[in-house]
Structure 1
Amino acid sequence: MVALSVASSTALAGCAGSSASGPDGSGNRFVGGDGNAQEIKVADRKAAPQAEGTTLEGKPLKLAELRGKVTVVNFWASWCAPCRGEAPSLEQVYKENKAKGVEFVGVGFKDSRDNAKAFERKFKISYPSLFDESGQITLAFRDVPPNAIPSTLILDRQGRVAARIVGATTYSKLGPLVAKVAAEK
């Protein structure tokens, strides 16, 4: 599928809180009180990989098929406490934006299918999640890596990473970022 480096796998070794801080030298800015959300200037955006896989329900899903829509990609695991904490906020932002053409895709990282499905039932997650038991889908994002679980990427309509939130997100952080990217034409 995609050649992957061993160094990338260590970046996703466990749950993280707020691990990113300050400007990264590119002029992109970090937003939010804890500094873990990064907006990426249009000129500096990189294309998301052509990641694909099967959902927890066994249906094929390709991110490339969502091009033309703003897409939120959330990397999570049932064993991750911060992932459980952010799940209601993600679902709320999804419900408020799906009629506006914003898509959400979860990526269940290094988890069992049964535990991941139980997580989605418990938190009433209504958007699809790719099953990434081996971590290969997550590692395909090495050009703009999620860096930790949980992490959330917001892709613009051209399929480029427009924002990244490392660590757990909140409704008040994710909602405005999604709205900003969705307002771009």
Structure 2
Amino acid sequence: MPVPGVPNAFRPAALLRLLLVGLVLSAPVASAVADDTPDKDPYAIPEGNNPTALSLYLRGLMRMFPEDRTEEGLKQHFGKLSQIGTELLSRDLDDDTALLAVRIKFGSLTILSQQLGDPAAAQQLSKFAAALKEDTRPAVAKEGERLDLILRLNRIASLTDAERKQLVDDVASRLQEGELDDEKLALVTQTARGLEDIDRPLAASAYQLFAKYMAARGDERLSDEIVRFEGAARRLSLPGNPIEIQGTTLAGEPFQLDRFKGKVVLVDFWATWCPPCIAELPHIRKLYEQYHDRGFEIVGITLDENRERLDQFLAEQELPWTTLFEPNPEKQGWANPNVVRYGVSAIPTAILTDQEGKVVSLRAYGEELDRKLKELLGPPTASK
């Protein structure tokens, strides 16, 4: 299962690594020994359809990196791998070997098109994915459906609204089929996360739909993921609605957000071990100094688990706003009730509320925070 707190940025390259590396690591180890003959062409395809020999050969190619690391060298290398995939798929292969060939071709074309900017490879990739779904071999056709989902996910930003909705439905259908492994869970997670900055309502409904189908499996091991998916849907539905935040201050006092009723409040999920969080602190401090006297408050919800380290950091930084720290070790870090309630999966996550207590931004840092504070409280005053 994915580790909570994986960066929220959409990273199709991570799925590509699952395609190429994950399959190699999960493939059974063949008993034959690879041919280490000097000057032997490493790209030369073995004759015949022996599964053991071809499996060793393909797994070796997946681990191989060209000596020429230039762009041209990489293009030649992955171009050869794509051609090898085409050649092997024309043979009468067993299912496992055919799937290896499919993945090495698909992965190579993906790298050529997305990482190396080869427009011809992009066209080949689309045609290849479409052809796979029509393959007469059931296992290959099924793999084609899965790779088509990944291909659409990789270009999710360019899809139409209807195509995005269809992608969510197709991913949900796949979620209901067979065993829910790490790769499938990565697919549903990346689909929902990939929609967050593109279509927030659709992302929220995707999280809810995926949580529903995970819950239907009745697998207790999925309980944490289900809660986080439901929390993410709750977070994405916050704009225009109040946010519920409660916890314990550093002084051990109970805290509820309504303490700042009538104020503009920044709820900042952060930690001392998070470099982007620390990098944002000077900017937040500047805005606090400019707007605090005009009704701007900050509530920092730390995901730290080491109170001594936190106290040392705060003593050095002298942060003037409220910081919440969960005293119960079992509810610290990513298990913090506020983090779980809103499905926070990456930090910094900064949520801004207006004077009525309603959320006006889910990404309230950088220029977005400046803009929103100016809208709500007017132009900034000079820093003290």
- Normalising to structure 2: TM-score of the pair? 0.35
Deviation at 1:111, TM superposition (A): 2.6
Q: Assess if the C-alpha contact under 8 Å between 2:268 and 2:299 holds in 1.
A: yes
The separation in 2 between residues aligned to 1:96 and 1:156, in whole angstroms, is 17
Aligned counterpart, 1:137: 338
Q: 1:21 aligns with which of 197, 201, 209?
A: 197
| Structure 1 alignment gaps of length 5 or more | 1-9, 27-43
Aligned counterpart, 1:177: 372
The separation in 2 between residues aligned to 1:139 and 1:182, in whole angstroms, is 31
Residue 247 of structure 2 corresponds to residue 71 of structure 1: no
Q: 1:162 aligns with which of 360, 367, 372?
A: 360
Deviation at 1:22, TM superposition (A): 2.8
Alpha-carbon distance change, 181 to 17 in structure 1, aligned in 2, over 3 angstroms: farther
The SS at the match of 1:165 is coil
Residue 242 of structure 2 corresponds to residue 47 of structure 1: yes
The separation in 2 between residues aligned to 1:58 and 1:130, in whole angstroms, is 9
The separation in 2 between residues aligned to 1:115 and 1:56, in whole angstroms, is 13
Aligned counterpart, 1:111: 305
Higher strand share: 1
Q: Assess if the C-alpha contact under 8 Å between 1:77 and 1:83 holds in 2.
A: yes
The separation in 1 between residues aligned to 2:241 and 2:349, in whole angstroms, is 17
Deviation at 1:48, TM superposition (A): 0.5
The separation in 2 between residues aligned to 1:127 and 1:137, in whole angstroms, is 18
Larger CA Rg, structure 1 vs 2: 2
The separation in 1 between residues aligned to 2:290 and 2:8, in whole angstroms, is 25
Q: Assess if the C-alpha contact under 8 Å between 2:248 and 2:325 holds in 1.
A: yes
Q: 1:148 aligns with which of 338, 341, 346?
A: 346
| Structure 2 alignment gaps of length 5 or more | 11-195, 203-238, 327-331, 379-384
Structure having greater relative contact order (Cα 8 Å, sep ≥ 6) = 1
Alpha-carbon distance change, 158 to 127 in structure 1, aligned in 2, over 3 angstroms: same
Q: Assess if the C-alpha contact under 8 Å between 2:271 and 2:277 holds in 1.
A: yes
The separation in 2 between residues aligned to 1:164 and 1:46, in whole angstroms, is 12
Alpha-carbon distance change, 76 to 178 in structure 1, aligned in 2, over 3 angstroms: same
Alpha-carbon distance change, 124 to 175 in structure 1, aligned in 2, over 3 angstroms: farther
Aligned counterpart, 2:154: none
Alpha-carbon distance change, 156 to 120 in structure 1, aligned in 2, over 3 angstroms: same
Alpha-carbon distance change, 25 to 46 in structure 1, aligned in 2, over 3 angstroms: same
Deviation at 1:108, TM superposition (A): 0.6
Alpha-carbon distance change, 17 to 147 in structure 1, aligned in 2, over 3 angstroms: closer
The SS at the match of 1:158 is coil
| Aligned residue pair count | 150
Which aligned segments of 4 or more residues in structure 1 are displaced greater than 4 angstroms? 17-20
Deviation at 1:116, TM superposition (A): 2.1
The separation in 2 between residues aligned to 1:18 and 1:111, in whole angstroms, is 24
Higher helix share: 2
Per-residue CA distance 1:32-90 (angstroms, 9 max, x = gap): xxxxxxxxxxxx512101x2221123233210121211111100011111111111111
Aligned counterpart, 1:93: 287
RMSD: 2.7
The separation in 2 between residues aligned to 1:17 and 1:123, in whole angstroms, is 27
Deviation at 1:161, TM superposition (A): 1.1
Aligned counterpart, 2:278: 84
- Normalising to structure 1: TM-score of the pair? 0.69
Q: Assess if the C-alpha contact under 8 Å between 1:73 and 1:153 holds in 2.
A: yes
The separation in 1 between residues aligned to 2:370 and 2:344, in whole angstroms, is 19
